[in-house]
Amino acid sequence: MQKKSTLILVLAVIIGFMFALTPGPAAARTRFVSIGTGGTGGVYYPYGGGVAEIWSKKVDGIKAVAEVTGASVENTKLCSRGETLFGEIMSDVAYQAYTGTGKFKDKPQKILGMFVMYPNVYHVVTRADSGIDAISDLKGKKVSVGAPGSGTEFMTNLILEGALNIPYSSFKVYRLSFNENANALKDNSIDVGIWCVAPPTSSIMDLATTHPIKILPFTEEEINTITAKYPFYSGYTLPAGVYKGQDQDVYTASVWNTFICNADLDEELVYKLTKAVFENQDYLIKIHHFAKFTTPENAVKYSAIPLHPGAARYIREKGIDIPERLIAK
């Protein structure tokens, strides 16, 4: 009888231990997701961190994290493959990725839009004492065109080589991140660094505090040439005073950013995540004032690719019609 009682006790302990190791209902419902962002010297990373925080706090069962990546092109591929599920990309990349054209020729990516974030502004930055005054002066210079796999490098290729006939072969190409751009300009190891980012961005602000800078303007003719060939780009006037020493307006190019998701994601999940972002926009604005552009109205007005059905459902609930071109097939 004593042996039987001991056996029952041991079995009870084993079963109890196994039960303790088994996730409860709440744990089983938790889903861990990551958002492909960019380098720490731009806006993608803090913006994506803000979205991750909103989702983790406001959407039951979601724990999200912002992941440092090479930005737009890499984020597109990661999202399409289901490795991150979500990503921040520039709309020129989004358009070509979704349609399987350009850099993604015959390789359409499995992505859809959730919302547009804000417009990115193209910054062509040099030191004030460089003697470089115009975009046409890049020939023969040491130019960082953007990090490998980034939207900056993607846009630079289209603008310089595709539209303005300034091929990469006409200057010495460097592919640096935003922080690396700033450091390389400080020590004169490059002549020009290119950023495509929401202004003001921390890496350029840091550079401008220690070294006088110049942001090269585009001519109206150059912008017209660019936008005629690539209608997802537009002209943008960077107001004087955004950066220390920038005493005049700078006319340059811009492109909207799109927050994407894997096309196979569940409609209900994307609906809840989209709703959480729009209903907590004020938190994102505290991170960067350009988040004021993250609205349902702008999603419909500026998205370059169709919206995920979950995102479209929330936008319709706000009384906004979804045009045919943005309805996922």
Distance CA(91)–CA(100), nearest Å, equals: 14
Token code pair at residue 48: 């994506």
List 213's β-bridge partners, or say none: 127
Instruction: Compute the C-alpha angle 171/175/181, nearest 5°.
Output: 95
Classify residue 54: in a domain, yes or no: yes
Q: What is the pLDDT of residue 41?
A: 87
Classify residue 18: in a domain, yes or no: no
Q: Are residues 247 and 100 in the same domain?
A: no
Classify residue 95: in a domain, yes or no: yes
Q: Which residue from 132, 111, 62, 138 is spatially nearest to 259, judged by alpha carbons? A: 111
Q: What is the pLDDT of residue 97?
A: 97
Distance CA(8)–CA(4), nearest Å, equals: 6
Residue whose structure tokens are 């989702």: 55
Number of domains in the chain: 2
Q: What is the pLDDT of residues 169-207, one digit of tens each?
A: 999 999 999 999 999 999 999 999 999 999 999 999 999
Considering the chain, what percentage of its residues have pLDDT values greater than 90? 88
Residue type, 283: Y
Classify residue 23: in a domain, yes or no: no
Q: Are residues 197 and 277 in the same domain?
A: no
Q: Are residues 89 and 163 in the same domain?
A: no
Q: What is the pLDDT of residue 52?
A: 98
Q: Are residues 201 and 188 in the same domain?
A: yes
Q: Are residues 155 and 201 in the same domain?
A: yes
Helices (H), the chain: 2-21, 25-29, 44-58, 72-81, 91-99, 151-156, 178-186, 202-210, 220-229, 267-279, 281-287, 296-302, 309-317
- The DSSP code sequence of 90-150 is EHHHHHHHHHT-GGGTT----EEEEEEEEEEEEEEEEETTS---SGGGGTTSEEE---TT-
Q: What is the mean pLDDT of the chain?
A: 92
Residue, of 16 and 107, whose pLDDT is higher? 107
Residue at a domain's end among 197, 232, 255: 255
Task: Cis check for the bond before 200: say yes or no (omega within 30 of 0).
Answer: yes
Q: Are residues 139 and 226 in the same domain?
A: yes
Classify residue 6: in a domain, yes or no: no
- The enclosing H or E element of 215 equals strand 213-215
Q: Which residue from 131, 130, 140, 137 is spatially nearest to 172, judged by alpha carbons? A: 140
Q: What is the pLDDT of residue 29?
A: 82
Classify residue 24: in a domain, yes or no: no
How many residues comprise the chain? Answer: 329
Token code pair at residue 146: 């953007």
Classify residue 7: in a domain, yes or no: no
Q: What is the mean pLDDT of residues 160-168?
A: 97
Torsion angles phi and psi, residue 82, rounded to 5: 80, 15
**Exposure letters 207-244 (e unless 16+ CB within 10 A, then b):** bbeebebbbbbbeeebbebbeeebebbeebebeeebbb
The model's pTM is: 0.82
Classify residue 4: in a domain, yes or no: no
Q: What is the pLDDT of residues 89-108, one digit of tens each?
A: 999 999 999 999 999 999 99
Q: Are residues 207 and 274 in the same domain?
A: no
3-state class of 197 per DSSP?
strand
Token code pair at residue 240: 């004087």
Q: Which residues contact 270 (CB under 8 A, 6 or more apart)?
A: 114, 261, 308, 309, 310, 311
pLDDT of 13 higher than 80? no
Range of the domain at 151: 120-255
Q: What is the pLDDT of residue 16?
A: 42
Q: Are residues 107 and 126 in the same domain?
A: no
Instruction: Compute the C-alpha angle 193/44/263, nearest 5°.
Output: 125
Confidence category of residue 19, pLDDT binned at 50, 70, 90: very low
Q: Are residues 228 and 133 in the same domain?
A: yes
Biggest alpha carbon distance in the chain? 98
Q: Are residues 126 and 251 in the same domain?
A: yes
Residue at a domain's end among 233, 255, 277: 255
Residue at a domain's end among 226, 255, 284: 255
Give the domain CATH number at 301.
Answer: 3.40.190.10
Q: What is the pLDDT of residue 231?
A: 85
Q: Are residues 39 and 111 in the same domain?
A: yes
